Amino acid sequence: MPNVPPHPSPRPYAGLPLAWAAVVLVLTLTPSDEMPRTPVWELLSFDTAAHAGVFFVLAGLSWFSLRRQRHWPRLARHAGAAVLVASVLFGALIEELQMTMRLGRHGEWSDLLSDGLGAALAVGLATAWAGRLSKKARAVASIFRAGLLLAGLGSGPVQAQDVARARRTIEKLAAPEMHGRGYVQQGEHKAAAYLRGRFKELKLEPLAPDYTQPFTLDVNTFPGKLQANCLLNGQGGMNCIGLGWQPGAALIAAPNSGSGQAHGRIQVLDSTVLADTLKWAWWRQQPLHGRVLLMRKGVADHLDKLPAAVRQQLDSAAAWVTVVPKLTASLAAEQAPQPRVEVLASKMPRWQVPDRYNTPTSITPENGNVEAYIQVDAQLRRNYQTQNLAAVVRGTAQPDSFLVVSAHYDHLGMMGKDAYFPGANDNASGVALLLELAAHYARPENRPACSVVFLLFGAEEAGLVGSSYFVAHPLVPLQRIKFLVNLDLLGTGEQGATVVNGRVFEAPYQRLVALNNAHHYLPQLAPRGRAANSDHFPFSEAGVPAFFLCTRGGSTAYHDVNDRPAALSLAGFAGAFGLVRDFLNEEGATIGAKKNR
């Protein structure tokens, strides 16, 4: 998957309102001769206009700053209310200081009212300008866009306000209340409900009742306690080392972990044992009941190649601990016979003493043993009901021919009671781009010639379950699908994008490259061959031509707790929108496009 750069350093937007506030304080608290009192407040007076104008500027700059900061998404969403409250409080502070500092000035309620009116006017205009409150403002924007189209400028990337809306979509889907869009606390159902609402807002036609295609799956979940400690039992007694590996940050449950507790001496399974028959003979004589088996990821990856008798011996251990260079969570449909966890290598103690086979059988400082305490509350959910979401914009000329845009909305959910996986890049970003394309084709001026279907798949992280179910139970005839574009990991783009199946469907890929070269949407495109790494795969295996588009560059957060909205630059988001839109148009979404290629 693509590597993404660190989130660009924040611009000093906060400096604008702070600087203006400093100017206001200097102007209002400068000593002066006794100021004349204004006994009656007048709406149309110089004093009223001055106060309102000063706070109009202050509120406007504050709104601009809060809307663009990314540290507090909730504050950005409610910037208007925050600015109004702060402006009134700041105005009250000034009036209080003028009364108490004896500067020759008067604190008056009428001045505070003027301050509030100026701030309210600024917030109202700013909010309407952003397209949130005023239908008339949206109509003006539509006329402006239509003018761009007539002028031949409409084929460029999506407008800036759409990228801002997409970021809000990502923040919503990755928020804590979505619980990682997984199978603990109904996270994926909450995400699906939100997305149904978005489909309804766009007035898309449902392809199934309430846009919903239900299906079931088996999935292992971790709704309760997740804990692992490492304890040194030496001459000095029991001392904790590495106590409290934090779930999500230093510790995760293995996808197939069983439920239970284990407290026992650590037994190290070294990589050299895998290739040495003599060592295995020694190992098979060792009782593993009550022991915690410790191994590195390279060893764990090869255990399925061992003889069944050896695997059975390993399964008798009380618990498994796998040391990994990076925590990368996943899902499984079955459970192991014991609790299994993965611990970040940088958090492991490094004491090792070799045994007679030069294999570290326990991590043992002098005259001591290392023990581990493991607890995992796991629940294997059988026949868990989840869903795909499906909508369509019917074509005006060829309604029975289909282009498909897909993305998966699910993610990994929660692990323990506190750790959750936000899944901002994977795949709230792809869902956001799909919704922007749906909004584009839902507009009357952009109605497609052939039908455009929008599919949001569930259970992709569980093994492409939702998309496989759709292919087995299609809501539109698969043979009538002209092309499918699957969107996954679209939150970056500094290094361009990868097109999976670009080497399989070479002619469509060359058309994609030509569009990108003509409009410079993304820095570069890189083709890749067949890969079962996202929801395009069941379709292409069934004979449907399909691409999987993902952007490259930036944050390395993937399947971990750090895949958050703040890490996403969205550097290639607008370009990906323009590229996919133009490709769909060439494939038949606009009248005059070739019917057969």
CA distances (Å), origin 371, targets 324, 337, 367 = 19, 20, 13
Collapsed DSSP state (helix, strand, coil) of residue 414: strand
Can you give the pLDDT at residue 14?
A: 74
The mean pLDDT value for 119-145 works out to 59
| 365 has pLDDT over 60 | no
At 475-504, the pLDDT tens digits run 999 999 999 999 999 999 999 999 999 999
With a pLDDT cut of 90, the percent of the chain lying above it is: 55
What would the pLDDT profile of 266-313 be if each residue is shown by its tens digit?
Answer: 888 877 766 666 666 666 777 788 899 999 998 899 888 877 877 888
In the prediction, which pLDDT does 279 show?
Answer: 67
Q: What mean pLDDT is predicted for residues 48-72?
A: 77
| Overall average pLDDT of the 48-62 stretch | 81
pLDDT at position 102? 59
Q: How far apart are CA 401 and CA 438, in angstroms?
A: 17
User: Residue 597: which pLDDT band, with cuts at 50, 70 and 90?
Assistant: very low
Distance (Å, whole) CA 561 – CA 499: 26
Phi, psi torsion values for 345, nearest 5 degrees: -55, -35
Give per-residue pLDDT as tens, 159-183: 434 899 999 999 999 999 999 999 9
Q: Poorest-confidence range of 110-119, 328-337, 506-515? A: 110-119
Q: Residue written as tokens 């764990």?
A: 300
Q: Is 506 exposed, middle or buried (0-12, 13-18, 19+ CB in 10 A)?
A: exposed
Q: What string of DSSP letters covers 182-222? A: SSSTTHHHHHHHHHHHHHHHTTPEESSGGGEEEEEEEEEEB
Res 348: pLDDT: 78
Instruction: Decide if pLDDT at 449 tops 90.
Output: yes
CA R_g for the chain = 30
Whether pLDDT at 242 is above 50: no
Distance of CA 90 to CAs 83, 85, 102, 124, Å? 10, 9, 19, 19
More confident site: 22 or 36: 22
Query: For residue 594, what are the contacts with CB-CB under 8 A and spacing of at least 6?
Result: 586, 588
> pLDDT at residue 525 above 80?
yes
pLDDT at 308 (0 to 100): 83
CA atoms of 66 and 315, how far apart (whole Å): 54
pLDDT tens digits for range 378-434: 999 999 999 999 999 999 999 999 999 999 999 999 998 889 999 999 999 999 999
Measured in degrees and rounded to the nearest 5, phi and psi for residue 430 equal -65, -40
**CA-based diameter of the chain, in Å?**
101
Query: Which has the minimum average pLDDT: 103-112, 215-224, 544-553?
Result: 103-112
Please report, rounded to a whole number, the percentage of residues in the chain having pLDDT higher than 70: 77
Nearest to 577 by CA among 154, 228, 253: 154
pLDDT of residue 445: 93
From the number of C-beta atoms within 10 Å of its C-beta (0-12, 13-18, 19+), residue 594 rates as exposed
Q: Do you find a cis peptide bond into 427, omega within 30 degrees of 0?
A: yes
> Is the backbone of residue 588 left (phi > 0), alpha (psi -120 to 50) or beta?
left
Q: Does position 158 have pLDDT exceeding 80, yes or no? A: no
What confidence tier does 209 reach under pLDDT thresholds 50, 70, 90?
very high
pLDDT at 141 over 60: no
User: Which of 141-150, 279-288, 321-330, 347-356 bottoms out in mean pLDDT, i.e. has the lowest?
Assistant: 141-150
Q: Is 331 exposed, middle or buried (0-12, 13-18, 19+ CB in 10 A)?
A: buried
**Taking CA 553 as the corner, what is the angle to CA 549 and CA 557, rounded to the nearest 5 degrees?**
95
Range list of H helices, 403-545: 429-442, 465-472, 506-519, 536-541
pLDDT classification of 350: cutoffs 50, 70, 90: low
Higher-confidence residue of 532 and 371: namely 532
b/e per residue, 374-409, with b = 16+ CB within 10 A? bbbbbebbeebebbbbbbbbebebbeebbbbbbbbb
